[in-house]
Amino acid sequence: MGLKIVFSQHSEESNELLSSSVKSRVEDLHAAFADAQIKAILTVIGGFNSNQLLQYINWDLIKKNPKIFCGFSDITALNNAIFAKTGLVTYSGPHYSTFGQKLYFDYTLEYFRKCLFSSVPFDILPSENWSDDVWYQDQNDRNLVANKGWLLTINKGEAEGTVLGANLGTFNLLQGTEFMPQFEGTILFLEECAPAKAWDFDRELQSLIHRSDFGQVKGLVFGRFQKTSKITNRQLIDIVKTKKELNNLPVIANVDFGHTDPKITFPIGGTAKIIAHSNNSKIEILKHGSN
């Protein structure tokens, strides 16, 4: 892609929690934001505990040195906290490790480019095929699933707002803290990874709905669930329909983001528009930068 890649000092550290020390990770994050030659930061992988870093981050440093920050899954905590504390738009998108895919990477790369290499609004179109295989164990043995039909429209309607969210379980870790963004005028993009089941997603979503400002949310977009979650369209529809707070919100599901491949890149703190119709729903990313 014409990019020069460098690695942080502690990027290869690993401990019993499949992570590294808070000190090492904070030092690497600060160094990357402070270095004027670094234009973008990609997380190596997700994990389980990036919320450990939040109280040690120098938010003024990030605010004074805005740049691209991109990752998904556990990185949801950092994405939303950075936006809440600094106003910097960050990106839910592929990790550095995601780029190791040998096959079927074109869709992921296309939306990475659309979101990070251009300021032009773009539509989110469904992939032709998707996969939920452990691709890094055997790069040549991939199991593709045909992406049948269009996006699943659960509730009809139209909305435009600021994008928040990504991995629901991780997003919920920010509740009750100074690191959770306000919900006024937002569209929540939410996904959950296996082994979460339908009842897990149900209660995690309910937890968000209990927020005092949830009534200011304007729409919901759900990412694709992994096969082992066994969450069906019928179950997802039932979960939404049992929550009266969602009755008047447009809700679209089965979008290509989360823990399946391929995946889009979308801006946390950017602006999206959703048009939810029975047979022709549409998602457009309108603003995907801080300027």
CA nearest neighbour of 282 among 273, 291, 269: 273
Instruction: Specify whether the CB–CB gap between 51 and 43 falls below 8 A.
Output: no
Q: Where are the alpha helices (DSSP H) in the chain?
A: 22-34, 59-64, 76-86, 106-116, 168-172, 198-209, 233-241
Q: Is 15 a domain residue?
A: no
Instruction: Specify whether the CB–CB gap between 184 and 211 falls below 8 A.
Output: no
Q: Is 171 a domain residue?
A: yes
pLDDT along the chain (291 residues), means of 10: 95 90 97 98 95 98 98 98 98 97 97 97 96 95 87 95 98 98 98 95 98 98 96 97 97 96 98 90 93 58
Gap between the Cα atoms of 134 and 40, Å rounded: 27
Q: Is 217 a domain residue?
A: yes
Going 97 to 100 to 103 to 105, the CA torsion angle's sign is positive
Q: Is 105 a domain residue?
A: no
pLDDT of residue 60: 98
| Catalytic residue check, 259 | yes
Q: Tally Cβ neighbours within 10 Å of residue 7.
A: 10
Q: Is 95 a domain residue?
A: no
Given the residues 73, 92, 127, 281, the one annotated as active site: 73
Q: Is 226 a domain residue?
A: yes
Could you tell me whether strands 144-146 and 217-224 are parallel, antiparallel, or unpaired per DSSP bridges?
unpaired
Q: Is 168 a domain residue?
A: yes
Given the residues 50, 92, 259, 288, the one annotated as active site: 259
CATH number of the domain to which 274 belongs: 3.50.30.60
Residues in the chain: 291
Torsion of CA 203, 72, 70, 170, to 10 degrees: 30
Q: Is 268 a domain residue?
A: yes
Overall number of domains in the chain: 1
The residue range of the domain holding 254 is 121-287
Given the residues 50, 92, 127, 191, the one annotated as active site: 191
